[in-house]
Amino acid sequence: MIALIGSFQLVLFMMRLTIIGFGNQAKAWSQNLQDSAFPFRVALQPDSASFDKVVELGMETVEIGSKEFFEDRAFVLLTPDDTHHSFMTTYGQLFHEGSLILYNHGFSLSKNNFQETLPHLKHILFAVKAIGSEIRKQYLSKGQFGAVYSLEFVKGGTDAIETWIRKMAKDLGVNIGLFKTTFLHETQADLYSEQGLLCSLIPYTAGEMFQHLVESGIEPELAYLEVWHEMKLIAIAMVDKGPEGFFDLISPNALVGSEKGFQKLITPEFKSNLRSLLTDIQSNKFNQELENTNVEELRKTIRSRWSDSSLMKTFNIMKAKEENEKT
Ligand SMILES: NC(=O)c1ccc[n+]([C@@H]2O[C@H](COP(=O)([O-])OP(=O)(O)OC[C@H]3O[C@@H](n4cnc5c(N)ncnc54)[C@H](OP(=O)(O)O)[C@@H]3O)[C@@H](O)[C@H]2O)c1
């Protein structure tokens, strides 16, 4: 019995991961796992334009829905979240009993309750906290990024699965964590950070400030360096030093200015608006708003908002200069 458990654990430890999709996350995951010699293959829709590229990279491919596709026992769903429901409705019943289905974000399971509709599968959260391009970049530069996981819907065999996940995380380049959470917590924290800070306040405040500077006669190159490029360097210092260390580092002018900005901008109204974003996420109001939104139309609108902006034009000029200087 001990030998049997031992060999089962060994098989699980060596188990191949099928990466479904070849988009932002999947490209980075597959390249990192390839470099770390972790066993994986890439599953694509029969008409996917990515087949040639994946083969060119020397990776194994499989067609989603083919007989070979269902032979494996571990899958990660790296397609857009809004495709998960139809994917699981079409294929969910066809996976072997006990197959591991990994989700890189808790959103689709929290919304669709796959653990109830497909109870023969082991639904696992394994969420990497970085955008795809950074997962690859940080791996290559031996930088840092984190991940969280949840085995809350797995009954039995969790130790062996956790060992496999930890090995996969290490080979993927995760070196902060793994931290345990739940699908729901990851979903709420992720949506809130996108809405309140990462994808709203940061880019839009920078955009507004760039506009103000340029309209008042400041050279666009200087405005770009101040509000866009330096943001990256400041963020690195904040993350490296922590909030206390960061405020110890900044100059007296910056310190006094920071306090003025804090008092003027972070008003009770701002705080209340910020908190309301979380309330809307937790009450499912945001989910309803999402359902009523044509995402492709919205993407077009936002893209044209930025493509017409002087910040975008300056960004393109600065990038071209950077490229010229490299050569
Ligand atoms: N974007 C990020 O960096 C980021 C960050 C954190 C977490 N996540 C999470 O990671 C997951 C993947 O996100 P992503 O942004 O990497 O996805 P993505 O780039 O939009 O995924 C595109 C890939 O998904 C495939 N695909 C699209 N619809 C499909 C369908 N109906 N059936 C099968 N394959 C389909 C596409 O196939 P074709 O090749 O056929 O077009 C393509 O290979 C999501 O859960 C997301 O929340 C993403």
43, 19 contact by CB (below 8 A): yes
Return the pLDDT at 157: 87
Cα 7-9-14 angle, rounded to 5 deg: 95
Return the pLDDT at 9: 57
Return the pLDDT at 327: 80
CA of 185 to the centre of ligand 1 (A): 21
What's the CA gap between 151 and 100, in Å, rounded? 10
CA of 81 to the centre of ligand 1 (A): 7
Return the pLDDT at 4: 43
Residue keyed to tokens 């499989």 = 62
Closest CA to 126 of 158, 102, 98, 107: 102
Segment holding 208, helix H or strand E = helix 201-215
Contacts for 278 with CB less than 8 Å, ≥ 6 apart = 188, 192, 196
Contacts for 229 with CB less than 8 Å, ≥ 6 apart = 318
CA of 138 to the centre of ligand 1 (A): 20
Which of 69, 79, 193 has most ligand 1 atoms within 8 Å of its beta carbon, as the pocket-test mutant?
Answer: 79
Q: Of ligand 1's atoms, which has the minimum distance to the CA of residue 25? A: 16
Around 143, how many Cα atoms within 13 Å sit in the side-chain half-sphere?
14
Return the pLDDT at 8: 54
Cα 192-145-249 angle, rounded to 5 deg: 85
Domains of the chain from N-terminus onward: 2-181 (3.40.50.720), 200-326 (no CATH)
The DSSP bridge pattern shows strands 146-150 and 122-128 to be: antiparallel
Sign of the dihedral defined by the CA atoms of residues 235, 239, 240, 244, in that order:
positive
What's the CA gap between 216 and 271, in Å, rounded? 30
CA of 181 to the centre of ligand 1 (A): 23
Around 277, how many Cα atoms within 13 Å sit in the side-chain half-sphere?
17
Return the pLDDT at 14: 81
Closest CA to 302 of 210, 214, 213, 203: 203
Residue nearest to atom 27 of ligand 1 (CA): 79
Which residues are bridge partners to 40 per DSSP?
17
Return the pLDDT at 1: 39
Which residues are bridge partners to 41 per DSSP?
18
- Pocket-forming residues, ligand 1, beta carbon under 6 Å: 21-26, 44-45, 48-50, 64, 78-81, 83, 87, 104-105, 131-132
- In whole angstroms, how far apart are CA 16 and each of 1, 42, 72, 150, 318? 24, 11, 7, 20, 43
Residue nearest to atom 24 of ligand 1 (CA): 79
41, 78 contact by CB (below 8 A): no
pLDDT in tens, the chain (327 residues): 344 445 555 567 689 999 999 999 999 999 999 999 999 999 999 999 999 999 999 999 999 999 999 999 999 999 999 999 999 999 999 999 999 999 999 999 999 999 999 999 999 999 999 999 999 999 999 999 999 999 999 998 899 999 999 999 999 999 999 999 999 999 999 999 999 999 999 999 999 999 999 999 999 999 999 999 999 999 999 999 999 999 999 999 999 999 999 999 999 999 999 999 999 999 999 999 999 999 999 999 999 999 989 999 999 999 999 899 888
CA of 114 to the centre of ligand 1 (A): 18
Return the pLDDT at 15: 94
Residue nearest to atom 30 of ligand 1 (CA): 83
Closest CA to 168 of 36, 292, 47: 36
Return the pLDDT at 43: 98
20 C-beta neighbours (distance < 10 Å), count: 24
Closest CA to 101 of 88, 110, 113, 90: 88
CA of 12 to the centre of ligand 1 (A): 26
